[in-house]
Amino acid sequence: MNLNEAFKTGLREIRAHAFRSILSFSAVSVGVGSILYTFAQTHGMRAALDRSIALMGAGRMQVQAKRNYASRGFSPGLTWEDVLEIKRAMPEMQMIYPKVRRWNATLHYNGKKVEGVAVEGTTQDWRKRDWVYGLRGRFLDRWDVEN
Protein backbone atom coordinates (compact mmCIF):
# COMPACT_ATOMS: atom_id res chain seq x y z
CA MET A 1 0.00 0.00 0.00
CA ASN A 2 1.48 3.32 -1.01
CA LEU A 3 1.00 6.71 0.62
CA ASN A 4 -1.51 7.95 -1.96
CA GLU A 5 -3.72 4.89 -1.45
CA ALA A 6 -3.54 5.25 2.35
CA PHE A 7 -4.58 8.90 2.13
CA LYS A 8 -7.60 8.04 -0.08
CA THR A 9 -8.65 5.28 2.32
CA GLY A 10 -8.38 7.67 5.28
CA LEU A 11 -10.59 10.28 3.58
CA ARG A 12 -13.14 7.59 2.66
CA GLU A 13 -13.30 6.43 6.30
CA ILE A 14 -13.66 10.00 7.56
CA ARG A 15 -16.58 10.62 5.18
CA ALA A 16 -18.20 7.31 6.06
CA HIS A 17 -18.07 8.07 9.80
CA ALA A 18 -18.31 11.88 9.80
CA PHE A 19 -19.93 12.29 13.23
CA ARG A 20 -17.43 9.98 14.92
CA SER A 21 -14.59 11.83 13.17
CA ILE A 22 -15.91 15.20 14.37
CA LEU A 23 -16.18 13.89 17.94
CA SER A 24 -12.64 12.50 17.82
CA PHE A 25 -11.27 15.74 16.41
CA SER A 26 -13.13 17.75 19.07
CA ALA A 27 -11.82 15.54 21.88
CA VAL A 28 -8.23 15.86 20.68
CA SER A 29 -8.63 19.64 20.23
CA VAL A 30 -10.05 20.10 23.74
CA GLY A 31 -7.27 17.96 25.21
CA VAL A 32 -4.52 19.90 23.44
CA GLY A 33 -6.16 23.20 24.41
CA SER A 34 -6.36 22.11 28.05
CA ILE A 35 -2.70 21.18 28.12
CA LEU A 36 -1.68 24.49 26.53
CA TYR A 37 -3.86 26.41 29.01
CA THR A 38 -2.29 24.52 31.92
CA PHE A 39 1.21 25.32 30.65
CA ALA A 40 0.29 29.00 30.23
CA GLN A 41 -1.14 29.19 33.76
CA THR A 42 1.90 27.46 35.23
CA HIS A 43 4.22 29.84 33.38
CA GLY A 44 2.22 32.84 34.63
CA MET A 45 2.37 31.62 38.24
CA ARG A 46 6.10 31.04 37.94
CA ALA A 47 6.63 34.56 36.54
CA ALA A 48 4.57 36.05 39.40
CA LEU A 49 6.62 34.07 41.93
CA ASP A 50 9.89 35.25 40.35
CA ARG A 51 8.69 38.88 40.51
CA SER A 52 7.71 38.46 44.17
CA ILE A 53 11.08 36.93 45.07
CA ALA A 54 12.93 39.72 43.24
CA LEU A 55 10.81 42.29 45.08
CA MET A 56 11.70 40.79 48.46
CA GLY A 57 15.38 41.37 47.82
CA ALA A 58 18.53 39.30 47.80
CA GLY A 59 19.01 38.71 51.50
CA ARG A 60 15.88 38.44 53.58
CA MET A 61 15.99 37.85 57.29
CA GLN A 62 13.30 38.63 59.82
CA VAL A 63 14.12 39.14 63.48
CA GLN A 64 11.21 39.56 65.83
CA ALA A 65 10.40 39.27 69.48
CA LYS A 66 8.70 36.11 70.72
CA ARG A 67 4.95 36.23 71.15
CA ASN A 68 3.74 36.52 74.72
CA TYR A 69 7.30 37.06 75.88
CA ALA A 70 7.62 38.25 79.46
CA SER A 71 10.92 40.03 80.03
CA ARG A 72 12.83 39.18 83.17
CA GLY A 73 14.64 42.50 83.07
CA PHE A 74 17.81 41.18 81.40
CA SER A 75 17.17 42.86 78.04
CA PRO A 76 15.09 45.81 76.88
CA GLY A 77 14.10 43.79 73.79
CA LEU A 78 15.00 44.71 70.24
CA THR A 79 16.27 48.29 70.07
CA TRP A 80 17.44 50.78 67.44
CA GLU A 81 21.00 49.97 68.49
CA ASP A 82 20.33 46.34 67.53
CA VAL A 83 19.32 47.49 64.05
CA LEU A 84 22.52 49.52 63.71
CA GLU A 85 24.61 46.57 64.92
CA ILE A 86 23.01 44.21 62.39
CA LYS A 87 23.70 46.78 59.64
CA ARG A 88 27.33 46.96 60.73
CA ALA A 89 27.75 43.19 61.01
CA MET A 90 26.06 42.39 57.68
CA PRO A 91 26.93 45.06 55.11
CA GLU A 92 25.87 42.74 52.27
CA MET A 93 22.23 43.05 53.33
CA GLN A 94 20.50 45.51 51.03
CA MET A 95 18.35 47.02 53.71
CA ILE A 96 17.59 46.51 57.34
CA TYR A 97 14.61 48.22 58.86
CA PRO A 98 12.56 47.95 62.03
CA LYS A 99 8.81 47.55 61.81
CA VAL A 100 6.27 48.17 64.56
CA ARG A 101 2.67 47.03 64.37
CA ARG A 102 -0.04 47.88 66.89
CA TRP A 103 -3.63 46.69 66.73
CA ASN A 104 -6.59 48.32 68.43
CA ALA A 105 -4.62 51.50 69.13
CA THR A 106 -6.05 54.88 70.07
CA LEU A 107 -5.15 57.72 67.73
CA HIS A 108 -5.18 61.40 68.77
CA TYR A 109 -4.95 63.93 65.92
CA ASN A 110 -6.07 67.57 65.72
CA GLY A 111 -8.05 67.26 68.93
CA LYS A 112 -9.92 64.18 67.70
CA LYS A 113 -9.71 60.72 69.19
CA VAL A 114 -10.17 57.55 67.14
CA GLU A 115 -10.15 54.13 68.77
CA GLY A 116 -9.57 50.68 67.30
CA VAL A 117 -6.95 51.78 64.77
CA ALA A 118 -4.32 49.48 63.26
CA VAL A 119 -0.96 51.26 63.00
CA GLU A 120 2.14 49.99 61.24
CA GLY A 121 5.35 51.98 61.25
CA THR A 122 8.77 51.61 59.70
CA THR A 123 11.72 53.78 58.69
CA GLN A 124 12.59 55.44 55.40
CA ASP A 125 14.85 52.49 54.49
CA TRP A 126 11.67 50.69 53.48
CA ARG A 127 11.40 53.00 50.46
CA LYS A 128 14.45 51.28 48.92
CA ARG A 129 12.19 48.40 48.02
CA ASP A 130 10.57 50.31 45.14
CA TRP A 131 7.23 48.82 46.05
CA VAL A 132 4.64 48.57 43.33
CA TYR A 133 1.76 48.62 45.78
CA GLY A 134 -0.20 51.75 46.59
CA LEU A 135 0.86 53.36 49.83
CA ARG A 136 -1.15 55.37 52.33
CA GLY A 137 0.11 57.46 55.18
CA ARG A 138 3.67 58.64 55.61
CA PHE A 139 7.06 57.23 56.48
CA LEU A 140 8.58 57.75 59.88
CA ASP A 141 11.27 60.40 59.77
CA ARG A 142 14.39 60.66 61.93
CA TRP A 143 12.51 62.57 64.65
CA ASP A 144 9.90 59.79 64.93
CA VAL A 145 12.60 57.14 65.23
CA GLU A 146 14.56 58.98 67.90
CA ASN A 147 11.54 59.98 70.02
User: Using one digit for the tens of pLDDT, what is the confidence trace for 96-115?
Assistant: 777 778 888 887 777 888 88
Backbone angles phi, psi at 127, to 5 degrees: -65, -25
**Helical (H) or strand (E) element with 114:** strand 112-122
pLDDT in tens, 10-62: 889 888 888 998 999 999 999 999 999 999 999 999 999 888 877 766 666 67
Strands 112-122 and 99-109: antiparallel
Task: Encode burial over 79-97: b for 16+ CB neighbours within 10 A, e otherwise.
Answer: eeeebeeeeeeeeeeeebe
Eight-class DSSP state of 94:
S
**pLDDT tens by residue, 71-105:** 777 777 777 788 888 888 988 777 777 777 888 88
